[in-house]
Amino acid sequence: MAQAPGTERVPRDWDQQLRARGYRATPQRQLVLEAVASLRHATPEDVGARVNQTARGVNISTIYRTLELLEQLGMVAHTHLGHGAPVYHLAEDADHVHLVCRGCGKITEISPDVARPLVATLDAEQGFETDVGHLTVYGRCADCRPRP
Amino acid sequence: MAQAPGTERVPRDWDQQLRARGYRATPQRQLVLEAVASLRHATPEDVGARVNQTARGVNISTIYRTLELLEQLGMVAHTHLGHGAPVYHLAEDADHVHLVCRGCGKITEISPDVARPLVATLDAEQGFETDVGHLTVYGRCADCRPRP
DNA sequence: TTTAGTGCAAATTTTTTGCAAAGTC
DNA sequence: GACTTTGCAAAAAATTTGCACTAAA
Whole-angstrom Cα distance, residue B117 to residue A118? Answer: 7
Whole-angstrom Cα distance, residue B88 to residue B36? Answer: 7
What is the helix (H) or strand (E) element at residue B54, kind and residue range?
Answer: helix B44-54
Contact B101, B139 (CB under 8 A): yes
Whether B24 sits with its Cβ under 7 A from any strand C atom: the answer reads yes
Q: How many CB pairs under 8 A join A and B?
A: 99
Contact B74, B117 (CB under 8 A): no
Residue A148 has pLDDT above 70, yes or no: no
Q: What is the pLDDT of residues B41-57, one digit of tens each?
A: 899 999 999 999 888 78
Nearest to A122 among B129, B130, B137 (CB): B137
Whole-angstrom Cα distance, residue B78 to residue B91? Answer: 9
Mean pLDDT of chain A: 86
> Span B109-125, mean pLDDT?
92
Catalogue all structural domains in chain A, each as residue range(s) with its CATH number: 14-92 (1.10.10.10), 95-139 (3.30.1490.190)
Q: What is the pLDDT of residues B85-114, one digit of tens each?
A: 788 989 877 778 888 887 777 788 899 999
Whether B56 sits with its Cβ under 7 A from any strand D atom: the answer reads no
Whole-angstrom Cα distance, residue A64 to residue A60? Answer: 6
Nearest to A128 among B122, B128, B139 (CB): B139
Whole-angstrom Cα distance, residue B122 to residue A4? Answer: 27
Whether A21 sits with its Cβ under 7 A from any strand D atom: the answer reads no
The more confident residue out of B83 and A24 is A24
Nucleotide nearest to B28 (CA to C1'): D6
| pTM across the whole model | 0.82
Whole-angstrom Cα distance, residue A80 to residue A82? Answer: 6
Residue B117 has pLDDT above 70, yes or no: yes
> Span B5-19, mean pLDDT?
80
Beta carbons within 10 angstroms of residue A99's beta carbon: 22
Shortest CA distance to A97 belongs to which of B118, B80, B14?
Answer: B118
Q: What is the 3-state secondary structure (H, E, C) of chain A?
A: CCCCCCCCCCCCCHHHHHHHCCCCCCHHHHHHHHHHHHHCCECHHHHHHHHHHHCCCCCHHHHHHHHHHHHHCCCEEEEECCCCCEEEEEHHHHCCEEEEECCCCCEEEECHHHHHHHHHHHHHHHCCEECHHHCEEEEECCCCCCCC
Which residues of A fall within a CB distance of 8 Å from B101? 128
The more confident residue out of A2 and A90 is A90
Q: What is the pLDDT of residues A11-36, one digit of tens each?
A: 889 999 999 999 999 999 999 999 99
